[in-house]
Every structure is written in C-alpha cells, then in structure tokens.
C-alpha cells in the first residue's frame, strides 16, 4: 500500500511489545532487526519515531520506566497488534503475570523458549529473559487486534475468549478491554462455542 497507493508514515509512532535481553539490535533474531528489515526500511517512517525496548541496556529498570513514560507522553497507543502464545502469553507476559503489569524484565518459560528455538541455531542460543510491555500497558491501548493461526492455538484461543479472566492465561485479560478484534484461522477457532464472522 505504501508503494502502490501512497500509504504514508511520516507522522506514525510505533512501540514494539518486547525485545530479548542480551541480544544486539543488529542480531538477526532481535525484534529491532525484524521490524527494520520487514517494515521500517521499506516505508517512509521516521526511525526516531520507532521504539523497541533495548535488550542491551545496562539499567533495565530505568529503561522500562522511560519506555512507559514515552508512551504516556505521546498520548498512549491508538492500536496494539498482538499474537497469542501457546501458553496464553501476550508479549512476553507469561502465565502468572499480573493483569496490572507494566513494561519490565521477565523470565521466559521453558514452553516459550522451546517455541522460539526454531529461530535459532540451537535451543541453547535462545535468550532466557526479555523486556516486555506489561498487560496493564497493553490494556490502555485504544484498540487491540489479536492474530491467531493454527490448530495448536485452538485451546488457548478458547481459554482467552471463553474462559475466566485469570493470570493462568494472560490473554484472557483482554476480555477487560472494550475494543478487541480477533482475527483467527478456522483451525485456531475450532474450540470456540461463540459465533464469529468468516
């Protein structure tokens, strides 16, 4: 759309959900690298307006406070785009994360590490820690869009949409938001009892 229909980005601000701790922005598995190579380098966004947590920061706590303050200073996020992990995590908010949590350092679960191992040469190379935007921060977005694909997400999609709101399934906290849209493949929606548009 940018190249063919003049979709324009010079006033767009972006805030990534997360970044691995200990991985450089130039590492091919960093989220900064991904965003630059898959989107930012191909559109006319101002790089200074693209925010990704710094996994190499020496003072994580201060960095996270500044990240939160920067989001607040621009008036919050208009739209948050999320995936959902097999264990119900959103961002890197693993099960047990407070629904009021803010941007912070987190330990990744064995399940998340195993799921991400396919992107690294070996499971030993997968980072064990990350900086993630908190669930409380996510819930302050004006609108939320959740994408879920594949039969392996069916159980967690059902838990997130139809189960109780619980820290056991962080994505269930999205039930507390007034404007969430799920885009789900048919196999990922297999366990749902509610009606949805095809």
Catalytic residues: 18, 87, 89, 94
- The token duo for 161 is 């949409």
Helix (H, G, I), strand (E, B) or coil at 184: strand
Q: Parallel, antiparallel, or unpaired for β 104-107 and 129-132?
A: antiparallel
User: From start to end of the chain, where are the E strands?
Assistant: 14-15, 18-20, 50-51, 79-82, 104-107, 129-132, 143-148, 180-184
Taking residue 62's Cβ as centre, other Cβ atoms within 10 Å add up to 10
């Amino acid at each position: 759309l940018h190249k063919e229909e003049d979709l324009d980005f010079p006033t767009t601000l972006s805030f990534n959900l997360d970044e691995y701790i200990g991985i450089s922005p130039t590492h091919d598995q960093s989220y900064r690298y991904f965003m630059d190579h898959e989107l930012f380098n191909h559109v006319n966004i101002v790089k200074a307006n693209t925010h990704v947590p710094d996994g190499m920061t020496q003072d994580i706590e201060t960095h996270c406070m500044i990240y939160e303050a920067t989001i607040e200073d621009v008036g919050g996020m208009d739209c948050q785009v999320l995936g959902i992990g097999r264990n119900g995590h959103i961002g890197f908010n693993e099960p047990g994360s407070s629904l009021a949590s803010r941007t912070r350092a987190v330990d990744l679960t064995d399940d998340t590490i195993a799921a991400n191992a396919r992107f690294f040469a070996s499971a030993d190379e997968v980072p064990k820690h990350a900086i993630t935007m908190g669930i409380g921060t996510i819930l302050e977005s004006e609108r939320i869009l959740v994408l879920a694909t594949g039969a392996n997400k069916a159980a967690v999609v059902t838990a997130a949409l139809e189960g109780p709101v619980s820290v056991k399934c962080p994505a269930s906290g999205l039930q507390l938001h007034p404007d969430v849209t799920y885009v789900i493949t048919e196999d990922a929606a297999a366990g749902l009892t509610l009606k949805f548009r095809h």
